Amino acid sequence: MKNTTFHEIITWHIPSDWDHCLASLPEAVLDHAVYTWLATHKTWLDDCFPECAYERSLELLNVLYRDGTDQQFAELMIQIRQDYSEKHQIAERGNKDVFYFSEATGDFESDSLIGAFNGDRHLSFAECYRNDLYLWLEDRIEGVILDEMGLEHNYGGDL
């Protein structure tokens, strides 16, 4: 059922002349694919956000991809870290694994403070976060799309 939902929502966005490489799709389609995958596979959210955000991961996902601005995502993440720190009496300093790490993004503390640069273009923290989630899910999502289209995929390399 989840793959059917994913298929119905995503495949109508893919042009008929698509080259079967997920990275060649427009950014809006990629964001839609990542959001759809995570919204329909909620158990994956714990791998997408730090421990301090587990209880609010769906809210973060929606702000990151649907309802908010990049600034709102950054502010919400700060608020979540502060709330968790106060509630659990644990300092952010010295606890990167709780406040600034997820399986999908790795250590994102520097991105949260200054963002990053792509060539000469500054990326916001939210843009960096979306990029990390996309890269983490790229092979999986590409495989699902190709499977739904009846095409073969090697799932990340030579088998």
- Residue 4: the pLDDT is 56
The count of other CB atoms within 10 Å of the CB of residue 24 is 11
Domain boundaries, the chain: 2-13+22-148
Query: In this structure, which amino acid lies at residue 8?
Result: E
Average pLDDT of the segment spanning 52-60: 97
Q: Tell whether the model's pLDDT for residue 124 goes beyond 90.
A: no
Q: State the helix-helix crossing angle for 2-10 and 125-148, rounded to 10 degrees.
A: 100
Q: Tell whether the model's pLDDT for residue 116 goes beyond 70.
A: no
DSSP H stretches of helix in the chain? 2-10, 27-40, 57-62, 70-88, 96-99, 109-114, 125-148
Comparison of pLDDT for 108 and 89, the residue scoring more: 89
Q: Among residues of the chain, what percentage have pLDDT more than 70?
A: 81
Mode of pairing for the β-strands spanning 106-107 and 101-102: antiparallel
- pLDDT tens digit string along 125-157? 899 899 999 999 999 988 888 887 777 765 554
